Amino acid sequence: MDHSAVLAAYDRQIRRNLDREGPDGPGALIERASGVVRRVGAAHDWNGILWSGLDETTADEAIAAQVRHFTALGLEFEWKAYTHDLPADLPARLLAAGFTPEPAEALMVADVDELPLDAEPPEGVRLLPVTDADGVRLVIDVHEQAFGTDGTALGRQLLDQLTSAPESIAAVVALAGDEPISSARLEFLPGTDFAGLWGGGTVAEWRGRGVYRSLIAYRARLAQARGVRYLQVDASDQSRPILARLGFAELGTTTPYVYRP
């Protein structure tokens, strides 16, 4: 895999031109203004800056314009800053404008055809596709146990997608007996070479047993069946070494900067 070429394709297809086949998800709008590409959705959805083409002379006013825009809408939003974004001091400018950084994540990509697709869950664990509100509740149960954060907004977002645009997402939960122990999502992006892996989390007592790996393989098989070329992950420090062992390459780092009106 040519890392530079794939990163350029990711910037072009996912960050700059995501709406060429239509809005990204039910009710979401992709807008271009003041040198940025932004996603605007419901309050429980993800709102933020996907891409920016700025320099030292335009960055501060562009940042201020986005703060004004989202504040007028009453929306918290996120500016995803990548290590290769310009100007080089963009993170410092975001901090000066009142943004709060969250933990940095590794941008990792793998060629679907080069991934191990045969990893199965450990004995006694089964994988259940999520298709309705009951399945969403299982996902949120795992999310709150694994990450220790409220999953209400995620549940509403996931149910919206399953109801309004089921072809855009696949979600799965791992069950030990009837107990949900891990869950994850796969988001398809029509018209691009990429699909995104999101939300992979496992409750503490089941970590290190191959459950997470089996969810990667499960979603990779779905992506391959849909003709997807690359899988992309914003990986935490916890998942990065697992993904690297499976064949994902680290193409850079992205840091979410959050602005709360």
Matching residue, tokens 């855009």: 168
CA-CA-CA-CA dihedral for 33, 260, 104, 217, to nearest 10: -80
Rounded CA separation 144/139 (Å): 9
17: pLDDT strictly greater than 80: yes
> Residue 25's pLDDT is what?
53
Provide long-range contacts, Cβ within 8 A and 24+ apart, for 202-209.
202/142, 202/146, 202/174, 203/142, 203/145, 203/146, 204/145, 204/146, 205/181, 206/174, 206/176, 206/181, 206/182, 209/122
Each domain of the chain, given as residue ranges in start order, spans 3-107, 111-251
Q: Which pTM does this prediction carry?
A: 0.90
Tell me the pLDDT band of 20, cut-offs 50, 70 and 90: very low
Domain 111-251 classified CATH 3.40.630.30? Answer: yes
pLDDT (mean) for 121-145 = 96
> Residue 257's pLDDT is what?
98
> Residue 19's pLDDT is what?
64
Quote the mean pLDDT of the chain.
93
Tell me the pLDDT band of 220, cut-offs 50, 70 and 90: very high
Question: Mind listing the pLDDT tens digit for each residue in 138-194?
Answer: 999 999 999 999 999 899 989 999 998 899 999 999 999 999 999 999 999 988 999
Q: Of all residues in the chain, what percent carry a pLDDT higher than 90?
A: 87
Residues facing residue 81 across a β-bridge: 255
